[in-house]
Structure 1
Amino acid sequence: MPIIKSSAELRNNYNEISKFCHNYSEPVFITKNGKGDLAVMSIEAYEEMNSRFELYGLIKDGMDDIANSNTRPFSEAISSIRGKRNK
């Protein structure tokens, strides 16, 4: 269940909200005038989420290569890598 706090609560209880974000690695949603405004999370949680997005992007690129037959045999790829490494 998402944690929702008002902007006044963020201002008045910053340390409590920060501690929650660090302990649970979950965002806290901040409202302003009763409407959603911000999502606050720890830097660690943000970096982990961003790393996942990057990984998903790389996996999608690989899947697209497979779908477009942009592949080569494993033995050929290894030979190419070894050739570059030995130079």
Structure 2
Amino acid sequence: MITIRPISDLRNKFSEIEETVVEENAPVFLTKNGYGTMVLMSLDQYDQLINPIESKLDEADLQASQTGQRFSSPEVFDRVRERIDND
């Protein structure tokens, strides 16, 4: 279930938000004046989100250091779109 709270709850009901984020391992979406403004998540959730990306970037850095082959922006975006379409 998605948890949406006003940003004022961050100040006034921090412990409730912390419990949702940490103990329930669920992100909390914060709103300001009725519009989404940010998402709070636990460090574990953040790591799970970022680690695969960081790993792929490390692989790309290693590959780039081992070859002189470079692609233009349009080539990169075309290749990404092709991979997305084939999945």
Which TM-score band applies after superposition, normalised by the shorter structure? 0.5 to 0.7
Scaled by the length of structure 1, the TM-score of the pair is 0.58
- Structure 1 spans left out of the alignment, 5+ residues: 62-87
- Give the deviation of 1:25 after TM superposition: 1.9
Matched residue count: 65
Mapping 1:2-17, distance limit 5 Å: 2-17=2-17
Larger Cα-atom Rg: 1
Whole-Å separation in 2 of the counterparts to 1:10 and 1:27 = 13
TM-score under structure 2 normalisation? 0.58
Letter paired with 1:49: L
Correspondences of 1:29-44 after superposition (within 5 Å): 29-44=29-44
Per the alignment, in what secondary structure is the counterpart of residue 39 of structure 1? strand
1:49-64 to 2 correspondences below 5 Å: 49-55=49-55
Superposition CA RMSD, Å:
2.6
Once the two structures are TM-superposed, the CA of residue 52 in structure 1 deviates from its matched residue by 2.9
1:26 aligned to 2:26? yes
Matched residue type, 2:51: S
Paired AA for residue 30 in structure 1? L
Structure 1 residue ranges, 4+ long, deviating more than 2 angstroms after superposition? 52-59
% of aligned pairs identical? 32
AA paired with 1:41? M
Residue identity in the other structure for 1:17: I
Distance 1:56 1:3, change over 3 A: farther
Q: Please report how far the alpha carbon of residue 57 of structure 1 lies from its aligned counterpart in structure 2 after TM superposition.
A: 5.9
Amino acid at match of 2:11: R
